[in-house]
Amino acid sequence: MTHGTTSTPYRVIAGLDFSALGDRAVVEGVRACLGREHSELHVLAVGSDEDGLLRLPGENRQLLTQELADARARDHVAKLLLGSEALVHASSLQQIAVYVAPGSAAERLVALAAAIDADLIVIGTNNRTGLTRLLLGSVAEEVVRTASCGVLVLRPRDFLDGEKLPEVAAPLKPGEHSLKPFAHAPTFHYVQRSQSSSMMPAI
């Protein structure tokens, strides 16, 4: 999608790794373009080079030629955007570019950001081990540390403070609450505005 313009577009890079979180990065990349007069989405998938062939990340990790790897990435992104068609139309995207490259994911993301003068990088992280990289994961940590633009890091929705949320079997027993496993954590109670004055302590 291209339109003639003289203004500098808002450029967003989304890291694609063919996981559910990587798919979210692409969609969030589109969402980041909302409200921008001119914008571009650049999607980058990074694989490992094995004897001239590429092994892309994800469940289907067969070796592919560069041409087949490019086609797979384009098809994957096209399906994602088709499922978010309303969001795409609501944005002012002038261009959606898809890249597949071998090497280090963090280095390639940062290099692409520098090459196109990107405004934002959107990436997901599933890494929950280690010490200094506990909160972000190795790729995200390096991108945040070395990128010259803003970085949006997505975490899985079912994790809190690096730990997987406990699964609560439904239906709950009488008196049980879905937050019972977090009884040791702070609990916040919200009071309606109309009740706030009557609940204020006397001075």
- So what's the pLDDT on residue 155? 81
Whether residue 179 is contained in a domain is answered as no
Strands 159-160 and 163-164, bridge-based pairing: antiparallel
Mean pLDDT of the region 24-44? 93
- So what's the pLDDT on residue 5? 46
Mean pLDDT of the region 50-65? 90
pLDDT confidence tier of residue 130, bands split at 50, 70 and 90: very low
- So what's the pLDDT on residue 65? 96
Mean pLDDT of the region 174-190? 58
- So what's the pLDDT on residue 84? 85
Number of H helices, E strands in the chain: 6, 9
Q: Which has the higher per-residue pLDDT, 37 or 24?
A: 24
Whether residue 113 is contained in a domain is answered as yes
CATH code, domain carrying 22: 3.40.50.620
Q: Which has the higher per-residue pLDDT, 194 or 79?
A: 79
Whether residue 69 is contained in a domain is answered as yes
What is the rounded (10 degree) CA torsion for 59, 106, 144, 139?
40
Q: Which has the higher per-residue pLDDT, 161 or 152?
A: 152
Residue 140, both tokens: 């995200």
Is a pLDDT exceeding 90 seen at residue 121?
yes
pLDDT confidence tier of residue 93, bands split at 50, 70 and 90: confident
Q: Which has the higher per-residue pLDDT, 89 or 112?
A: 112
pLDDT confidence tier of residue 131, bands split at 50, 70 and 90: very low
Whether residue 177 is contained in a domain is answered as no
d(CA 82, CA 75): 10
Q: Which has the higher per-residue pLDDT, 131 or 92?
A: 92
Whether residue 114 is contained in a domain is answered as yes
- So what's the pLDDT on residue 37? 85
Domain count, the chain: 1
d(CA 94, CA 12): 12
Is a pLDDT exceeding 50 seen at residue 182?
yes
- So what's the pLDDT on residue 41? 95
pLDDT confidence tier of residue 180, bands split at 50, 70 and 90: low
Q: Which H/E stretch holds residue 143?
A: helix 138-146
Whether residue 176 is contained in a domain is answered as no
Identify the domain containing residue 100 by its residue range.
10-163
Whether residue 17 is contained in a domain is answered as yes
